Structure 1
Amino acid sequence: MALVVLALVVVGVSYWMGTYLGVYGNRGITFYLLIALVAAAVGALVAVWSETAFEVRTWGSDLFGKTALGWRRIDLANLTSAAIANGRGNKTIVLGDSQGRISFSDKKLGPVVDGVRRGLSEAAQHGRFAVPTELATLLGLPLQQGASKRGKSGVTPKVLTVLGLIAIGLIIGVVAVR
């Protein structure tokens, strides 16, 4: 829900900037303030969209990841209810749970990697999750026949989507005042 609201904010601010450009051109301090406002809206959208852990800690049987939005908890006992979003790179695991996506490095996990492996193996037996090959290889899980060799990076579609949102807002704004 937050992504939809922030995407609408980006389009709205871009629309506002487009109407300003259509009427006044790129003159005045308001133009530069609108650029800053678009940048702030895009920054908020990206922070929520690509919520990744900067630091991972374990306390007891729980895994905590510090993300752009604060600390998130993954209970390793309930890991089978977490969805695997994708594998980024060779040494990174991305988990999705009811609280959002969390990305963390296997080096920071230390002894809990075995717990993650057990949870993923159990989930894979029930056929509920598609585990990317890079993640499966990292965790020592067996690969299925015909499995894709590369996980999605997700960076290019995100950049194109954000640029598209800005372009849509600007174009509609300029056309609306002409």
Structure 2
Amino acid sequence: MGGHSGVQVTRKRLSSLIYWKGLTTDVKKWIREYVVCQRFPDRAWSVISMDFIEGLPSSNKKNSILVVVDHLTKYGHFLPLSHPYTATDVANEYLKHVGLAPTQDQLPLVDDQSVLPKEPVHILDRRMVKRGNHAVTEVLVEWVNSFPEDATWEPLPVLSITLVVFVGDNSVLMSSRLRVLVCGNI
């Protein structure tokens, strides 16, 4: 009975083999508390599943597919194999294709709307804008993993509270990553 597909399917599978009073309650509790089901990977490719699709018509002398899926990103690799294959064949295909897949040591945290946090690279410019009866300083911020033309104007008070601590002339210190960012000609 490998894996489960929720309470109803698991209860149905179990009851076809064995039954006891309170089976449904026990299945609900088991699924709710099952460590493997509750575990959420914190890195891409740290938890994967593998399966084989066999009995396919031959194509380029391949008649099976090794399916490897990352649990976090749901990204999959579909690797053609020739049956019969050995554990060494499977391992070699895995290392050749999946072993080279891009990985991250730690995925960035997301906010409660599942949005990745922005991380500034450079402050490109600064301007004063009027907000109601107040003048507010805005800075043009270039973000990590984005193009310079995607830089955005951000209110300096909000930026300094949420992301960075300013430490002197034309430099910014990331409070969480301790990285010094040099401002452009501002």
TM-score (norm 1): 0.32
Structure 1 or 2: more strand by fraction: 2
TM-score (norm 2): 0.31
Greater RCO, 1 or 2 (C-alpha within 8 Å, sep 6+): 1
Higher helix proportion (structure 1 or 2):
1
